[in-house]
Amino acid sequence: MFTDAPVGERIAGGRKQARRERTRAALLEAAERLWAERGIHGASLDDVSSAAGLTKGAVYSNFTGKTDLVLALLDRHTALGRPGSMDVRLLVEFWLYGTRDYAAGWRIADWYAARRVELAAQLGDETAATKEMALDLGMAMLHLLDPERVQPDP
């Protein structure tokens, strides 16, 4: 891409963008870890920013609030192609958050629908994909409560 900006401005802009991406990644990682441990309502944005080694202002310069951060975590796992790698406790937190926050609920439902479409394409059957997702999530949740007697699928 051609730009008329001087080289120094382009370099400074690139550094600023890289710093912003590192800040955003640190906040997402801290939120993921804290919310899996304490729940979304159990860890404030102050807690998240502190765990990331940043200020609360860093949160609001990257996200409009807690819901935006929740949705960014879902998008991050989807973009990385690893939606199944998310901590089950965090998925449960997202589900609960979505049932309590109507607007967030729609986005979270859309995220699950996209996963179901991907699985349906692999299985060739949308109903089977829905059942498979339900079984996987249910087994993972039971494993959290009773890890010795309930083993998730390998």
Asked if 19 contacts 61 with a C-beta cutoff of 8 angstroms, the reply is no
Rounded distance, CA 135 to CA 17, Å? 41
Closest CA to 90 of 130, 151, 146, 43: 43
- Average pLDDT of span 121-150: 90
Q: What is the pTM of this model?
A: 0.74
pLDDT tens per residue, range 13-72: 788 899 999 999 999 999 999 999 999 999 999 999 999 999 999 999 999 999 899 989
Which of the residue ranges 4-8, 78-82, 114-118 has the most confident prediction, judged by mean pLDDT? Answer: 114-118
What is the set of domains in the chain, with CATH numbers?
7-145 (1.10.357.10)
Asked if 27 contacts 48 with a C-beta cutoff of 8 angstroms, the reply is yes
Rounded distance, CA 138 to CA 91, Å? 11
